[in-house]
Chains A and B, each alone.
Chain A
Amino acid sequence: MTGTTDLWTLAVIGGMACVTVIARCFFFIFDRPWSLPHWAQRGLQYAPIAALSAVVVPEVVMTQGQLIGSLHDARIYAAAAGVAAYFWRRDVMATIVVGMAVFLPLHIGLGW
């Protein structure tokens, strides 16, 4: 994936569009009523945040498959500021704005 279009990526995008339809229509795809087993219903409470965390945390604290060894890394400060901004304003946009306001000077200015 380096700026060129390839069929595999397009196939993944098609698959993801199907995932959107299945998730948003989950309980009304079929006519007859049905429900999930209890454990799966409870799992719905915890899986989304786990999935986000599993994607996000390595993107913030790892480089080339290794835990970052130095504190000179703009990502950790930006992510911490973003978390604080969320709980201050209760707004996802605040996370992005404050996080990038910390990230860009450190990353572009200091090369972290």
Chain B
Amino acid sequence: MFLRRAYYTHPEFAVGFRQMAPQSLGIAAWGLMTGVAMVKSGMSIVEALAMAMFVYAGSSQLAAIPLLLVGAPMWVILATAFCVNLRFVVFSLHLRSYLIHLPRLERLVTGYLTTDITYVLFVQRFPKPGQTEEARVAQQAYLAGNSCVNWSNWVGSSILGIALANFIPTAWGLGFAGILCLVGILCSLATTRLRMLSAALAGVAAVAAYALPLKLNIIVAIAVAVLACLSLEKLRPSPPPAPELPEEHRA
């Protein structure tokens, strides 16, 4: 399947592997920090390990931690995780022409493993989807090599963080590093005035509606911010900006 012999013996596998290497330090630091943050905010080792290995999306993991902590309902946590992940929906539209020829299972595994940084490197290396069987195998080989480094690095550094967390006193408040990471990602998304307005409105609404049960303040805040920005956009239509390239160091 994704790790077929045809892929890992292909020269593009090594290229994908190599191109990911310079990014690895940043991703490892982030994985380490996410590992520490998960345990320090009260998750068990098993839960933290399962999250690092299966959820495999740093920003939605970090966003879910405070919600898990207060026992928010599952649909609120999943809806929040989905909203944080919406940038991937934009990428998936672009990746469709590269992957649609594959059998569905391989397609889904490939998509699942394609994080922000892999997506950026991949579309730089292959600006056009391959038309021949050979070109398509090369693309898959590149993705396999790239994702291989990325996954092992993310899971390895998360495990290290989870292990180290036990030696760090909770009173130090290291879990706050997770919030700071989300602050950084938030800043990286603030590329237009309307997006900044969306962030400001959502922040104020989430605080104002905090007393709502079931952590519904998060959902209300997202709805208020998005609806306000869509209405403002209608008043002053502007050409839609190209989908932004994501910042580095995000899984």
Contacts and interface: CB of A to CB of B under 8 A. Distances in A.
Interface string A90-104: 111111100110011
A92 B251 CA distance: 12
A55 B66 contact: yes
Interface residues of B, number: 100
B74 A12 contact: yes
A27 B89 contact: yes
B187 A83 contact: yes
Contacts of B47: 1, 5, 9-10, 13
Interface string B38-79: 000011101100110011110111011011110100100110
A50 B88 CA distance: 16
Interface string A77-112: 011001100110011111110011001100110000
A35 B96 CA distance: 12
A52 B184 contact: no
B179 A95 contact: no
**DSSP class of A's interface residues: helix, strand, loop or mixed?**
helix
B182 A23 contact: no
6 contacts: A21-B108, A23-B82, A42-B233, A42-B240, A50-B199, A91-B247
A92 B247 contact: yes
Contacts of A24: 85, 88, 91-92, 111-112, 114
Interface of B: 26, 29-30, 33, 42-44, 46-47, 50-51, 54-57, 59-61, 63-64, 66-69, 71, 74, 77-78, 80-93, 95-96, 99-100, 104, 107-108, 111-112, 114, 171-174, 176-177, 179-190, 192, 194-195, 198-207, 210-211, 217-218, 221-222, 225-226, 229-230, 233, 240-241, 247-250
Given A51-B202, A86-B183, 10 more contacts: A10-B50, A20-B57, A23-B85, A25-B92, A28-B107, A50-B221, A54-B225, A79-B183, A92-B185, A99-B180
Given A13-B54, A49-B195, A93 B82 contact: no
Interface in A40-74: 41-62, 65, 67, 74
B198 A50 contact: yes
Contact of B180 (A21, A46, A82): A82
Interface of A: 1-5, 8-17, 19-29, 31, 33, 35, 39, 41-62, 65, 67, 74-75, 78-79, 82-83, 86-87, 90-96, 99-100, 103-104, 107-108
Contact of B198 (A13, A26, A46, A108): A46
Contacts of B107: 25, 28
